[in-house]
Amino acid sequence: MDAADRPHHTFAVGSTARDNSTGREARPLVEAQDRFVAAWGQMGSVWGISRTMAEVHALLYITGEPMCTDDVMERLRISRGNASMSLRALVDWGIVARANKRGDRKEYFRAEQDVWTMARAIVRQRIKREIDPMLAGLYEIRDMTRPDAKPARRTDRDPVAEHHRRLDALVDLTITLQRASQMFVSSKGSGLRAAASMLGSAVFDQPSKGASTTRSGPRARSEPGGENP
Amino acid sequence: MDAADRPHHTFAVGSTARDNSTGREARPLVEAQDRFVAAWGQMGSVWGISRTMAEVHALLYITGEPMCTDDVMERLRISRGNASMSLRALVDWGIVARANKRGDRKEYFRAEQDVWTMARAIVRQRIKREIDPMLAGLYEIRDMTRPDAKPARRTDRDPVAEHHRRLDALVDLTITLQRASQMFVSSKGSGLRAAASMLGSAVFDQPSKGASTTRSGPRARSEPGGENP
DNA sequence: TTGAACTTTCAGAATAAATTGAAACACGCA
DNA sequence: TGCGTGTTTCAATTTATTCTGAAAGTTCAA
């Protein structure tokens, strides 16, 4: 189940085999581009953005050319509305920029070409859209039950206390993830790689007992582990 | 639009307010649990697993109790089939374990209670299901076009060369992500946090100018086992 | 081997999400 | 102002995903 899934994309190439400095390699190149577009689209649907939006991004990235709405519509065979929405969303995410060609009133769009900059923009958005709200939710839920003034009849097996402990553990995990991500976002160059190669395989780990539950305070930093696929 | 979305879950509590050592705090506790279940379910759909699967996991985690299929069905008001599938998937992911109660033929399930262990299991699966296949795909696509023996008429503006450069940059990013994730997976304790606090804020980044694109050769260690989600 | 107690499967139904296309909307210019 | 060009919106529709529930499958004790 790869590219064979959406035949209309995979082969939508035909007429689009446009001019290349050397006309020669054109067809295979375009086919490879389409394959990439399809693959990236799949990936997109796995990480929660619409398949089309990911495809539009893939197209802009892999060709490197600024394109206007019509170019995208034609190449991807999608409707004007869809193309417009997807482009706008990509601009919102900060991985595609508007660009104007002089003497042409149309708006063109070009994808960020540096993959690390792109990755940072994506992580930034995910912090904002996923991590932050999750954290807010966890706090709110935790506060639905009072820690219960009296430390429970018998100290053992207090369900509410355990419930709080579990939420706190999750809060702790989430905060760490948030900080690590923020650090990556504010890094320069290929931040993650530098960080990763620094840590010998040995450095990881530490006991880690009592989770920190308190809302703020400077702490961890590192790579977005498996965070943002 | 928070919990108000799915009224049937948010209020499915009624009869379920079961015995707690102290019957007192029961209702608020159960409500907080349901709220957590709903929140975690939302999150799940963002990261590509089904809402129900995430809800089942949330329930098992937040109660800390081993539960059988019927318990889950009743509490979440879902069908037997759905409960069964979700539980199995969670076991596959390695974040829920089967457990048996003596003198009871039913199968019980309990969620991993250590959040870091849980996070590692999740990252492990995502490497396998998302990163590895993506990497395999990128290599395959890159190989669709030959690097073109002759170094191009004019050295500048060779579309195929640029195409390769872009794919290589992505490969590089993906491999780094893969390695960082693998490192997290094989860490102990609260790996990420420990690692994070090690690196001063300064270490990040490195010039990384012309994108270290030359990766080529080594096929990385993906597991193109052909299988995907 | 039989059958009660559980679990898994899967076709169809229900639900959710993405897409289209045409109308409404901006903008700059003669 | 009125017009041509280009962009955005959104109700209706199409497509994809998830859920149900009953039937089929397992397992084990007797």
Question: pLDDT by residue (tens digit) across A154-201?
Answer: 566 788 999 999 999 999 999 988 888 888 888 877 766 666 655 444
Contact between A183 and A143 (Cβ < 8 Å): no
Pair (B167, B105) in one structural domain: no
Pair (B73, B170) in one structural domain: no
Q: What is the largest CA-CA distance in chain A?
A: 83
Q: Which nucleotides of D are covered by protein (CB under 7 A)?
A: 5-11, 17-23, 28
Pair (A92, A129) in one structural domain: no
φ, ψ for residue A110, nearest 5 deg: -135, 140
Pair (B88, B177) in one structural domain: no
CA atoms within 13 A on the CB side of B192: 31
Q: Are strands B107-111 and B67-68 parallel, antiparallel or unpaired?
A: antiparallel
Residue B193's alpha-carbon distances to A223, B37, B48, B203, in angstroms, are 10, 26, 25, 16
Flag whether A165 is in a domain. yes
Domain that residue B54 falls in: 3-111
Interchain CB distance below 8 Å, A36 and B184: no
- Residues A72 and B204: their CA atoms lie apart, in Å, by 37
pLDDT score recorded for residue B192: 65
- Residues B152 and B154: their CA atoms lie apart, in Å, by 6
Chain A, nearest residue to B111 by Cα: A166
Flag whether B211 is in a domain. no
For residue A83, which amino acid is it?
Answer: A
CA of A85 to C1' of D7 (A): 10
Residues A226, A183, A43, B132: is their CA dihedral positive or negative?
A: negative
Contact between B9 and B76 (Cβ < 8 Å): yes
- Residues B133 and B226: their CA atoms lie apart, in Å, by 8
- DSSP per-residue string spanning A161-191: HHHHHHHHHHHHHHHHHHHHHHHHHT--SSH
Of the candidates A46, A198, A226, the beta carbon closest to that of B127 is on A226
Pair (A79, A141) in one structural domain: no
Min Cα separation A204/chain B (Å): 5
CATH code, domain with A8 = 1.10.10.10
Which chain A residues have a beta carbon less than 8 Å from that of B4?
none
Pair (B16, B96) in one structural domain: yes
pLDDT score of B24 more than 70: no
Pair (B87, B140) in one structural domain: no
Pair (A119, A98) in one structural domain: no
Flag whether A226 is in a domain. no
List strand D contacts in B 54-93 (CB < 7 A). 77-82, 85-86
Contact between A225 and B123 (Cβ < 8 Å): yes
Flag whether A95 is in a domain. yes
ipTM of the complex: 0.78
Residues B166, A192, A130, A173: is their CA dihedral positive or negative?
A: positive
Pair (B50, B120) in one structural domain: no
Which nucleotide's C1' is closest to A76 (Cα)? C19
Averaged confidence pLDDT in chain A: 76
List strand D contacts in A 37-56 (CB < 7 A). 45
Domain boundary among B94, B111, B128: B111
> What are the pLDDT digits (tens) for A116-164?
999 999 999 999 989 999 999 999 999 998 776 565 555 667 889 999 9
- Residues B166 and B5: their CA atoms lie apart, in Å, by 43
Flag whether A176 is in a domain. yes
B140 touches strand C (CB under 7 A): no
Flag whether A163 is in a domain. yes
Pair (A181, A144) in one structural domain: yes
Interchain CB distance below 8 Å, A144 and B28: yes
Residues B6, B9, B11, B12: is their CA dihedral positive or negative?
A: positive
Flag whether B208 is in a domain. no
- Residues A51 and A127: their CA atoms lie apart, in Å, by 21
Q: Classify A107 as helix, strand or coil.
A: strand
Pair (A95, A122) in one structural domain: no
Q: Is B148 left (phi over 0), alpha (psi -120 to 50) or beta?
A: left
- DSSP per-residue string spanning A2-62: -GGG-HHHHTTTGGG----SSSTTHHHHHHHHHHHHHHHHHHHHHTTS-HHHHHHHHHHHH
Query: For chain A, what is the domain count?
Result: 2
Domain boundary among A111, A139, A168: A111
Interchain CB distance below 8 Å, B194 and A172: no
Flag whether B168 is in a domain. yes
> What are the pLDDT digits (tens) for A15-31?
344 444 455 556 788 99
Determine the average pLDDT of the residues in B118-125: 91
Domain boundary among B89, B111, B133: B111
Pair (B37, B90) in one structural domain: yes
pLDDT score recorded for residue B70: 94
pLDDT score recorded for residue B194: 58
